[in-house]
Amino acid sequence: MGFFDSAQEVLDKGVSAAKGAVSGVAVEQQAFVKQFVRMCEDGWQQGWHERNGGNASYRMSPEDVQSCKGFFYDTPSSWVPLASPLINLAGEKFLVTAAGSFMRNVPLDPVSNIGIVEVDDQGAAWRIVWGFKGGGVPTSELPSHLMVHAVRKDVTIGADRVLYHAHPDNVVAMTGVLPADARAFTRALWKAMTECIIAVPKGVAALPWMVPGGTDIARATADAMIGRSACVWAQHGMFASAPTFDEAFGIVHAVEKAAGVWLKAQAAARTLGVEPIEIPDEGLRAIATTYNLPIDDSMLD
Ligand code: 13P
Ligand code: ZN
């Protein structure tokens, strides 16, 4: 059976029975898939995923692959070349949201709204091996997801596995008043709310507005995230990278909350004609010491 010729028909017979002799826990029932789906649902509940906004990916562990591969298509899709090879992703498999899929629909119908892609043994191309029922394809931001995974896998020595792209409105609104500069964003966010430096001790990167879905924004984001686990995309949204779903979601949640507090405090201060009161640099240093945080000191005065 091939992915494109018969996936729909086979999957309509039931995922667990798709390959006849296959037994075991269906892909949708695997713990990592449930956590992935929960993150999509939680983001929708937060209001970060209008229409098809946002996407997510997870670099599967060898154990995840082992427990799912019996359900992979006998004949996957054909290989799709990458703009440039990502050699450290050779052979990796990723659970990814589908292009155009609505996050609110992921929990209702995972096999149509998410899928698994495999990278070839040169790190030069990818193909679909599971999911995307009904002819779907991976997110249009796959170039960004794969390039950022390649960088974060290296710099975290394999720890980071989850990449989450959301459109949280306070973060996006902040890009309307602050320059797309890591230090400007990091200082504003860290100083607005105590928890933020704990969530992103290396701060957040920030990129000016760019065309989404291409290799230019992918390269810029991957470069920006060499030293940081979060990157703001002006007038668009943000990316977060972490070892777990809880942590990736938590980064976006904390940054978005800090952005909301910052915007409110700035607006209120202006209305009242007072200077906004913020956590001083010594205060941020003290939080870092207390919680033993590996902060980026260049963000502080
Ligand atoms: P996709 O539907 O292709 O994932 O695109 C959504 C998005 O947020 C683009 O940046
Ligand atoms: Zn987006």
CATH number reported for the structural domain that contains residue 28 in this entry? 3.40.225.10
Same domain flag for 126 and 179: no
* Span from the CA of 49 to the centroid of ligand 2 (angstroms): 9
Q: Whose CA is nearest to atom 10 of ligand 1?
A: 212
Considering every ligand atom shown, identify the ligand nearest to the alpha carbon of residue 172 and give its number.
2
Note down the domain range covering 249: 165-299
In a domain, 282, yes or no: yes
Secondary structure (DSSP) of 152-163: HHHHTTT---EE
Instruction: Identify the pLDDT of residue 134.
Output: 97
* Span from the CA of 165 to the centroid of ligand 2 (angstroms): 6
Same domain flag for 230 and 128: no
In a domain, 40, yes or no: yes
Query: Which of 244, 8, 221 is CA-nearest to residue 128?
Result: 8
Q: Are 165 and 55 in contact (CB under 8 A)?
A: yes
d(CA 198, CA 157): 21
d(CA 237, CA 220): 15
d(CA 178, CA 150): 29
Residue listed under structure tokens 């826990």 = 25
d(CA 295, CA 279): 16
In a domain, 181, yes or no: yes
* Span from the CA of 236 to the centroid of ligand 2 (angstroms): 6
CA 69 to chain centre: 23
Cα maximum dimension of the chain: 72
Same domain flag for 36 and 136: yes
In a domain, 253, yes or no: yes
Instruction: Identify the pLDDT of residue 17.
Output: 41
Same domain flag for 292 and 185: yes
Spell out which residues line ligand 1, taking CB within 6 angstroms.
52-55, 97, 99-100, 139-141, 165, 212-213
Instruction: Identify the pLDDT of residue 19.
Output: 53
Single residue among 125, 140, 155 that ends a domain in this structure: 140
Q: Whose CA is nearest to atom 2 of ligand 1?
A: 100
Q: Whose CA is nearest to atom 4 of ligand 1?
A: 139
Same domain flag for 105 and 191: no
Instruction: Identify the pLDDT of residue 23.
Output: 76
Query: Which of 191, 277, 185 is CA-nearest to residue 232?
Result: 185
- In this structure, what token pair is assigned to residue 187? 């200082």
Q: Are 147 and 87 in contact (CB under 8 A)?
A: no
Q: Following CA atoms 17, 22, 24, 28 in sequence, which dihedral angle do they give, to the nearest 10 degrees?
A: -50
* Span from the CA of 145 to the centroid of ligand 1 (angstroms): 11
Structural domains counted in the chain: 2
Question: What's the average pLDDT block by block, 10 residues per block, for the chain (301 residues)?
Answer: 42 43 87 98 98 99 98 97 98 98 98 98 98 98 98 98 99 98 98 98 98 98 98 98 99 99 98 98 98 98 97
Which of 49, 55, 137, 142 has most ligand 1 atoms within 8 Å of CB, for mutation? 55
In a domain, 152, yes or no: no
